[in-house]
Amino acid sequence: MLVATAADQDYKARHCVLCTWPNFIGYGFNLHAERGKPAQFIGKVDAESPAEAAGLQEGDRIVAVNGVDVEDAAHQDVVRHIRSDPSKVKLLVVDAVADVWFRDCGVKVSASMAESAVQRMVCPSANIYTSLPSTAPVQTGN
């Protein structure tokens, strides 16, 4: 197990809240699975999409969907959870570097992990790429 340092405070899972936009079809990302790995990952993230606005990145591992852990879930089950509300989805994701750090520290990334280990990123309700000059996701909390 690694000993945490002050620099390690930057390693966080991300709780990305996505909503649909009237002028954009879908959320703007696809799922990717790797053979031999039970997890689902974020594949391509479309430019100027709700997914990009909410901070999703290609290669993020999906940990939970709408508060339900999906680490060992089948692809079709993850899709079903994502589509359960056609206008909004909450994804707990972790990038590859943070995933290794959490694992090396013995911390299981899950929907029930401490809020201090999660960065919340919320997609604006309107397309920020056509209505605002800034393209940064909205961050709330830690």
**Segment 42-77, tens digit of pLDDT:** 999 999 999 999 999 999 999 999 999 999 898 899
Q: Largest alpha-carbon pair distance within the chain?
A: 47
Is residue 140 predicted with pLDDT exceeding 80?
no
Task: Find tokens 């206008």 and name the residue.
Answer: 87
User: Are the beta carbons of 16 and 95 closer than 8 angstroms?
Assistant: no
Q: Cα separations (Å) of 99 from 32, 68, 107, 109, 140?
A: 17, 18, 9, 8, 21
| pTM of structure | 0.83
Domains of the chain: residue spans and CATH: 10-132 (2.30.42.10)
**Segment 77-134, tens digit of pLDDT:** 999 999 999 999 999 999 999 999 999 999 999 999 888 889 999 998 888 887 554 4
